[in-house]
Amino acid sequence: MVIGLMLVSPPAEAQIRSEIIQQCAACHGEDGIARDIEVPHLAGQNERYLFNQIMAFRSGKRPHKEMRFMAREMSQAEIEALAAYYASLPSR
């Protein structure tokens, strides 16, 4: 993974993913199951769907103030990893 001009090793990449997951967990739950009925569950969702939705938030095609802020801070590789992570979790 490349951040700026620095290559990031796989352990550092895992740490970055962990930090992003913790930020997502504030609303979507640590297990991908949101506690608030207004927030969607992410666990077990289709990986391509999750990726496309985060990219839509990032570009502004799908409006949501908080999600746009969060997605703008992520690289495409981080979004791919995040989508894969949540898709791998058991759904409710």
Q: CA 37 to CA 10: how far, in whole Å?
A: 35
pLDDT at 11: 57
pLDDT at 18: 84
pLDDT at 24: 94
Residue ranges per structural domain of the chain: 12-88
For the question of whether the overall pTM of this predicted structure is more than 0.85, the answer is no
Q: Please provide the CATH number assigned to the domain covering 12-88.
A: 1.10.760.10
* Stretch (H or E) spanning 7: strand 6-7
Sign, CA torsion 84/85/91/92? negative
Question: pLDDT of 11-43, one tens digit each?
Answer: 555 665 788 899 999 999 989 999 999 999 999
91 closest CA partner among 10, 21, 33, 29: 33
pLDDT at 57: 98
SS3 label, residue 24: helix
pLDDT at 17: 73
